[in-house]
């Protein structure tokens, strides 16, 4: 028996300008997600939680809070982009291009736009991606540029994170 590492995520060296990552997990947004996010973020715009108010709008039903849409898009990208990141440096050019409603399923993909070595942190590099999020019908609902610091492979900051068990895991467990 030997320990096989799980997916370690991408390191700075793994990013190539022009590569596209279709993030593997879709996410259906529920009415509860939208309500809770509105409450957690103290968003008091009734368009997100008052069906009677929303019925008078051109959309005729509550919209999902746009910052929830962005949060889901960022979360969907972590597996491919920032599992080994240690700081976001910025989000730019955020666009909300199509409404999102409870019941919509969101999918995100990212393209690597730029990468460069860090002049102040030899253990890391800086990567910029454009991420877009599509609904179940292929309509783009949002897009943004995101720049982040990501560790290089072998960075000492990542060594020894997984704790050693008091005893090894065996087939008899």
Nearest to 117 by CA among 109, 126, 108: 126
**Residue 41: its pLDDT value, please?**
96
Token pair 């597996």: residue: 79
Q: Does residue 25 register a pLDDT over 70?
A: yes
Domain boundaries, the chain: 12-155
Percentage of the chain beyond pLDDT 90 is: 86
Token pair 């976001």: residue: 88
Helix (H, G, I), strand (E, B), or coil: what is residue 118?
coil
The per-residue pLDDT for range 89-105, each reduced to its tens digit, is: 999 999 999 999 999 99
Task: Answer for the pair 62, 50: CB distance below 8 angstroms, yes or no.
Answer: yes
Q: What is the mean pLDDT of the chain?
A: 94
Token pair 């700075």: residue: 12
Task: Answer for the pair 76, 68: CB distance below 8 angstroms, yes or no.
Answer: no
Task: Answer for the pair 141, 98: CB distance below 8 angstroms, yes or no.
Answer: yes
Task: Answer for the pair 110, 159: CB distance below 8 angstroms, yes or no.
Answer: no
- pTM value is 0.90
Mean pLDDT, range 77-82, rounded to an integer: 96
Helix (H, G, I), strand (E, B), or coil: what is residue 141?
strand
The CA dihedral of 22, 143, 105, 64, to the nearest 10 degrees, is 160
DSSP output for 26-48: -EEPPHHHHHHHHHHTT---GGG
Fold (topology level) of 12-155: Thiol Ester Dehydrase; Chain A (3.10.129)
**Residue 1: its pLDDT value, please?**
66
The per-residue pLDDT for range 113-172, each reduced to its tens digit, is: 999 999 999 999 999 999 999 999 999 999 999 999 999 999 999 888 888 889 888 888
């Amino acid at each position: 028996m030997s320990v096989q590492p799980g997916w370690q995520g991408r390191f700075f060296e793994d990013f190539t300008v022009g590569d596209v990552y279709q993030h593997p997990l879709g996410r259906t947004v529920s009415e509860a997600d939208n309500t809770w996010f509105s409450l957690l973020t103290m968003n008091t715009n009734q368009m997100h939680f008052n069906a009677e108010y929303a019925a008078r709008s051109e959309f005729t039903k509550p919209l999902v809070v746009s910052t929830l849409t962005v949060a889901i898009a960022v979360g969907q990208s972590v597996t491919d982009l920032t599992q080994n990141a240690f700081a976001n440096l910025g989000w730019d050019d955020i666009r909300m291009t199509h409404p999102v409603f409870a019941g919509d399923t969101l999918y995100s993909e990212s393209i690597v736009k730029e990468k460069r070595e860090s002049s102040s942190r030899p253990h890391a590099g800086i990567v910029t991606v454009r991420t877009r999020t599509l609904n179940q019908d292929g309509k783009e609902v949002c897009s943004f540029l995101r720049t982040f610091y990501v560790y290089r492979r072998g960075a000492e900051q990542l060594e020894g994170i997984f704790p050693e068990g008091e005893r090894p895991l065996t087939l008899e467990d």
